[in-house]
């Protein structure tokens, strides 16, 4: 694919590790049962790219390292900027502490929490502290596919996009994905215009439907195809449209929630087509997370 990669700018953004937060009170799940579980933030040692998104005794858990610019000012322009500039596949480097100099990879961003998620090797996780700072070489926003003006691209490093194995055929783009998500399963985040900073959720209250569509086996880092959803200028239903994204946080118990998807490609016209491929996972492509080379 021809892109404007050579015209993109690479800009540094720097964040710190987000402190885990909790009210200490019960919440109510979609089936009416109370729960009180770990959630977002921190250094998550045993949940990484390649692990299942279901089955954890947690809610909205984020794999790897959760980062933020300013935890007290989530909605500030600078914090939004940190989220916006950081793209999936960008290099992240620890610039303080015992892990100084260690490198990782941005794996997505989580709306609401306003976190940028980063995968680091296991030995780096053991050296990090919640006070460490991480510098990201932000690169990717503004990316265009020169021969497909109706396709909008967000949140992806062009060097990673080139590794996806996308096939151009008869004016269409055929993209390897793990699964197709039907439009009616998309929940929290619909209507938002924060395509460049957040994610939106696959609803999981109906377990039978999840199994019917093969979504019960999703893993962190899986690439998915969202059917009849247009994310060009806001997240909405549009017949014939399609959106592609990466699964970035775990299942959730709240009504209307579930595994989160950071989107990176969308089109209102029927140009994007899925190729079902069990190996369509950014961890496998980049050899990070559970696919890390030992």
Tell whether 173 is covered by a domain.
yes
Domain boundary (138, 162, 180) is at 138
Report the C-alpha gap between 225 and 246 in whole angstroms: 9
Which residues does residue 226 pair with via DSSP β-bridges, in sequence order? 181, 243
Provide the CATH number for the domain around residue 104: 2.40.10.170
Sign of the CA dihedral with 272 first, then 277, 283, and 289 last: positive
pLDDT of residue 294: 63
Q: Identify the pLDDT of residue 293.
A: 77
Residues 126 and 78 in one domain: yes
Full domain range(s) for residue 259: 151-281
Q: Report yes or no on 291 lying in a domain.
A: no
Q: Is residue 290 part of a domain?
A: no
User: Are residue 81 and residue 178 in the same domain, yes or no?
Assistant: no
Q: Which of 213, 193, 194 is nearest to 202 (CA)?
A: 213
Residues 61 and 14 in one domain: yes
251 with 275, same domain: the answer is yes
User: Beta partners for 186?
Assistant: 202
Q: Is residue 294 part of a domain?
A: no
- Among the residues of 35-157, which ranges form H helices? 77-85, 122-125
Write out the two tokens for 161. Answer: 């996009």
97 and 128 part of one domain: yes
Tokens 């998309």 appear where? Answer: 186
User: What is the per-residue pLDDT for 74?
Assistant: 82
Decide if 57 is inside a domain: yes
Domain count, the chain: 2
Residue 213 in any domain: the answer is yes
Same domain, 19 and 123: yes
Of 138, 161, 188, the residue at which a domain comes to its end is 138
Q: What is the pLDDT along the chain (294 residues), one digit of tens a residue?
A: 999 999 999 999 999 999 998 999 999 999 999 999 999 999 999 999 999 999 999 999 999 999 999 888 888 899 999 999 999 999 999 999 999 999 999 999 999 899 999 999 999 999 999 999 999 999 999 999 999 999 999 999 999 999 999 999 999 999 999 999 999 999 999 999 989 999 999 999 999 999 999 999 999 999 999 999 999 999 999 999 999 999 999 999 999 999 999 999 999 999 999 999 999 999 999 999 999 876
What are the residues whose beta carbons fall under 8 Å from the beta carbon of 86, sequence distance 6 or more?
13, 92, 106, 109, 116, 136, 138
Which one of 138, 168, 201 terminates a domain? Answer: 138
Judge whether 272 lies within some domain. Answer: yes
Pairing of strands 103-110, 115-119: antiparallel
């Amino acid at each position: 694919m021809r892109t404007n990669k050579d015209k993109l700018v690479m800009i540094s953004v720097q964040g710190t590790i987000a402190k885990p937060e909790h009210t200490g009170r019960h919440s109510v799940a979609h089936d009416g049962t109370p729960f009180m579980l770990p959630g977002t933030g921190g250094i998550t040692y045993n949940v990484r790219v390649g692990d299942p998104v279901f089955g954890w005794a947690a809610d909205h858990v984020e794999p790897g390292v959760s980062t933020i610019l300013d935890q007290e000012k989530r909605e500030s322009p600078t914090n939004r900027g940190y989220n916006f500039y950081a793209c999936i596949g960008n290099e992240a480097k620890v610039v303080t502490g015992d892990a100084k100099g260690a490198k990782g990879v941005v794996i997505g961003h989580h709306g609401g929490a306003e976190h940028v998620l980063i995968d680091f090797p296991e030995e780096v996780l053991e050296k990090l502290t919640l006070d460490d700072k991480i510098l990201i070489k932000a690169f990717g926003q503004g990316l265009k596919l020169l021969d497909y003006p109706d396709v909008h691209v967000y949140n992806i490093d062009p060097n990673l996009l080139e590794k996806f194995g996308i096939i151009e055929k008869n004016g269409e783009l055929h993209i390897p994905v793990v699964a197709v998500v039907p439009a009616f399963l998309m929940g929290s985040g619909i209507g938002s215009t924060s395509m460049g900073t957040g994610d939106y959720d696959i609803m999981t209250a109906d377990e039978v439907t999840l199994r019917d569509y093969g979504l019960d086996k999703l893993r962190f880092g899986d690439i998915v195809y969202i059917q009849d959803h247009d994310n060009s200028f806001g997240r909405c239903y549009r017949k014939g449209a399609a959106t592609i994204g990466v699964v970035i946080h775990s299942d959730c118990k709240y009504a209307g929630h579930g595994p989160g998807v950071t989107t990176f490609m969308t089109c209102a016209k029927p140009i994007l087509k899925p190729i079902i491929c069990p190996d369509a996972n950014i961890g496998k492509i980049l050899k990070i997370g559970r696919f890390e080379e030992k």
